[in-house]
C-alpha cells in the first residue's frame, strides 16, 4: 500500500499588508485564495496526510476573520478523514511568556488537526490500511543560536513502515541558507526516513541527503520581491517503505511581482514623463511593481521628478507600486566651500553678541557678567 501526502509550508495567512494601503484587505485575500487551492485539491484527491511545515500564520495574533476561515477549512478536511499535521515556524511560534501560545494550539483543541508544538522531535503514529506511518514533528525553538543544530544529539523514532519528519528550519546545502541562523546540518538528516520535509525557505527545492528525500514545498504566495521570479505552490507525494515513488509540484495563483529598472537622463526632458513612458509598456492591473529609478541629473532636472504624479499615474495601471530612488544621484557643478575654522570660545562670543543686541540697556551688564563667567569656566576645563 502507498501513502499519499499533500505537503505545504509558509502560507503566511493574515499578513499585516499595511504597505498596500486601501488594498490591504485585498492583498490579505491573496494568501487565503492560494490556500483555498490546496484545500480544494485535497478534498478532490483525498490525501492520507496534509502536512504543514510552519509559518502557516504570518504572526501569532491573526485576526478573528482569518481564524474563523481556517477553522472552517480544517473542519472540511477533517470531515473527509484527511489527517492534518502542523508544526510552527518563525512567524507563528511565541517567543516569550507574554506572547502566550501559538495560534495553532486553538485549532488543535478542536480535534481537527494535530499540532506537534514541542521544539524537540515528537512522533505521531497513523495507520492507513496495513501501513503504519510515523510522522515526527519538531516545531521551531526560537532560543537557539546560529551555531546550534536542533537535531544534534536527538534520537528519532523510526518505528513506522513509512517515516516522515516535519519541521521548519534552514538546512545546510539548500539555496537560501547563508549560515547566520540556526540550521540543520546535513549530517543530522536521518538515514532511515522516507521523507524529510521542512518549511522556512520559500523556494521549492529538493535533494537526497544520506539516502533520504529532503524537500521544501516553498511558500504558496509571494511575500517579497526576492520571490518575484519563483513559482509558488505545494507538493503532492506518493510514498511507501522504499521512499518517494512519485512527486508532483502544483502551482498556486500567486500575485505577480516585478522589478522595473528605469534609468533617467538629463537629455530626455521631464523625468516624470520618462518614467511614465517606461511604465506604460509594463502595465498590468494584477501586478505588484517596484520601480528602481537610477541616473545622474542636475538639480533643475530633479525638479521635474514628481513621485506623487507617478503614483497617481500607476493607480489604475497596477495593483500596487513602490519607488526606490536610492540610485538617483544629483550632479553638482559648484564646489562646496568649507566652513570657516573657528573655536568654541569664538562661537560663544558670537552667541553672546547676538544676545546683547536683543536685550534692554539695563540688562546688558548682567549679560556681560554671564559671558565672562562662562569663558572663565570653559578655560578652567581647558577649552580654548
Last residue of a domain, one of 289, 308, 330: 330
186 and 39, same domain (yes or no):
yes
DSSP of 296-329: EE-HHHHTT--HHHHHHHHTTTEEEEEEEEEEEE
| Residues 6 or more apart in contact with residue 135 via CB below 8 angstroms | 49, 51, 85, 114, 116, 123, 124, 125, 126, 164, 165, 166
245 and 261, same domain (yes or no):
no
Domain enclosing residue 319, as ranges: 257-330
Does the residue 192 lie in any domain?
yes
- Asked if residue 89 lies in contact with residue 10, where contact means CB atoms within 8 angstroms, the answer is yes
Last residue of a domain, one of 224, 251, 278: 251
* Closest C-alpha among 271, 276, 227, 277 to residue 252: 227
320 and 348, same domain (yes or no):
no
CB environment 81-101: b (16+ within 10 A), e (fewer):
ebbbbbbbbbbbbbeeeeeee
125 and 264, same domain (yes or no):
no
Number of structural domains found in the chain = 3
225 and 284, same domain (yes or no):
no
Count other Cβ atoms within 10 Å, centred on residue 241. Answer: 15
- The model's confidence at residue 336, banded by pLDDT at 50, 70 and 90, is low
- Asked if residue 262 lies in contact with residue 274, where contact means CB atoms within 8 angstroms, the answer is yes
pLDDT of residue 334: 58
Does the residue 336 lie in any domain?
no
322 and 279, same domain (yes or no):
yes
| Residues 6 or more apart in contact with residue 83 via CB below 8 angstroms | 48, 49, 50, 114, 126
Does the residue 339 lie in any domain?
no
Tally the C-alpha atoms within 13 A of residue 291's C-alpha that lie toward its C-beta. 25
Distances (CA, A) of 238 to 43, 157, 233, 316: 17, 21, 17, 45
79 and 218, same domain (yes or no):
yes
DSSP 292: E
| Residues 6 or more apart in contact with residue 138 via CB below 8 angstroms | 87, 116, 118, 119, 120, 121, 122, 150, 151, 165, 166, 167
pLDDT of residue 97: 64
Of 381 and 271, the structure prediction assigns the larger pLDDT to: 271
Mean pLDDT of the chain: 92
66 and 110, same domain (yes or no):
yes
pLDDT of residue 323: 94
Q: What is the mean pLDDT of residues 288-307?
A: 92
In the chain, the percentage of residues whose pLDDT exceeds 70 is 97
370 and 319, same domain (yes or no):
no
Does the residue 335 lie in any domain?
no
Count other Cβ atoms within 10 Å, centred on residue 17. Answer: 18
Does the residue 337 lie in any domain?
no
Count other Cβ atoms within 10 Å, centred on residue 5. Answer: 26
234 and 289, same domain (yes or no):
no
Helices 24-45, 64-79: axis angle to 10 degrees equals 10
Does the residue 338 lie in any domain?
no
Span 56-83, pLDDT tens digits: 999 999 999 999 999 999 999 999 999 9
Answer yes or no: is pLDDT of 33 > 60. yes
Span 138-168, pLDDT tens digits: 999 998 988 899 999 898 988 999 999 999 9
243 and 281, same domain (yes or no):
no
Helices 364-380, 344-356: axis angle to 10 degrees equals 170
Does the residue 197 lie in any domain?
yes
- The domain that holds 209 is classified in CATH as 3.60.21.10
35 and 172, same domain (yes or no):
yes
- The model's confidence at residue 299, banded by pLDDT at 50, 70 and 90, is confident
Q: What is the mean pLDDT of residues 40-45?
A: 98
| Residues 6 or more apart in contact with residue 229 via CB below 8 angstroms | none
Does the residue 159 lie in any domain?
yes
Can you read off the three cell numbers belonging to residue 245? 515513488
Last residue of a domain, one of 207, 232, 251: 251
Count other Cβ atoms within 10 Å, centred on residue 46. Answer: 12
Amino acid at each position: 500500500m502507498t501513502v499519499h501526502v499533500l505537503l505545504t509550508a509558509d502560507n503566511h495567512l493574515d499578513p499585516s499588508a499595511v504597505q498596500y494601503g486601501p488594498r490591504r484587505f485585498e492583498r490579505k485575500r491573496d494568501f487565503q485564495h492560494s490556500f483555498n487551492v490546496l484545500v480544494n485539491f485535497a478534498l478532490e484527491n483525498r490525501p492520507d496526510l496534509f502536512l504543514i511545515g510552519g509559518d502557516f500564520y504570518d504572526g501569532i495574533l491573526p485576526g478573528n476573520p482569518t481564524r474563523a476561515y481556517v477553522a472552517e477549512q480544517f473542519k472540511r478536511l477533517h470531515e473527509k478523514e484527511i489527517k492534518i499535521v502542523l508544526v510552527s515556524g518563525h512567524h507563528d511560534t511565541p517567543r516569550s511568556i507574554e506572547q502566550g501560545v501559538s495560534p495553532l494550539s486553538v485549532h488543535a483543541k478542536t480535534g481537527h488537526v494535530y499540532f506537534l508544538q514541542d521544539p524537540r522531535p515528537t512522533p505521531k503514529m497513523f495507520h492507513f490500511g496495513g501501513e503504519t506511518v510515523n510522522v515526527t514533528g519538531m516545531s521551531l525553538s526560537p532560543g537557539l543560536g546560529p551555531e546550534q543544530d536542533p537535531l544534534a544529539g536527538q534520537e528519532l523514532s523510526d518505528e513506522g513502515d513509512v517515516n516522515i519528519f516535519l519541521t521548519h528550519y534552514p538546512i545546510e546545502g539548500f539555496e537560501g541558507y547563508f549560515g547566520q541562523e540556526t540550521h540543520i546540518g546535513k549530517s543530522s538528516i536521518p538515514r532511515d526516513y522516507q521523507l524529510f520535509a521542512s518549511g522556512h525557505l520559500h523556494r521549492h527545492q529538493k535533494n537526497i541527503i544520506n539516502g533520504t528525500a529532503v524537500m521544501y514545498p516553498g511558500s504558496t504566495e509571494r511575500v517579497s520581491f526576492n520571490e518575484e521570479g519563483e513559482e509558488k505552490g505545494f507538493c503532492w507525494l506518493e510514498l511507501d517503505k522504499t521512499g518517494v515513488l512519485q512527486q508532483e509540484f502544483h502551482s498556486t495563483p500567486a500575485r505577480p511581482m516585478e522589478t522595473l529598472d528605469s534609468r533617467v537622463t538629463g537629455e530626455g526632458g521631464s523625468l516624470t514623463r520618462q518614467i511614465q513612458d517606461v511604465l506604460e509598456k509594463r502595465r498590468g492591473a494584477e501586478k505588484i511593481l517596484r520601480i528602481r529609478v537610477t541616473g545622474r541629473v542636475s538639480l533643475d532636472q530633479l525638479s521635474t521628478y514628481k513621485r506623487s504624479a507617478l503614483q497617481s499615474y500607476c493607480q489604475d495601471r497596477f495593483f500596487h507600486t513602490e519607488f526606490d530612488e536610492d540610485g538617483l544621484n544629483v550632479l553638482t557643478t559648484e564646489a562646496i566651500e568649507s566652513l570657516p575654522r573657528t573655536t568654541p570660545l569664538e562661537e560663544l562670543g558670537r552667541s553672546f553678541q547676538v544676545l546683547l543686541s536683543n536685550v534692554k540697556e539695563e540688562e546688558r551688564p548682567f549679560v556681560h557678567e554671564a559671558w565672562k563667567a562662562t569663558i572663565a569656566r570653559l578655560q578652567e576645563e581647558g577649552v580654548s
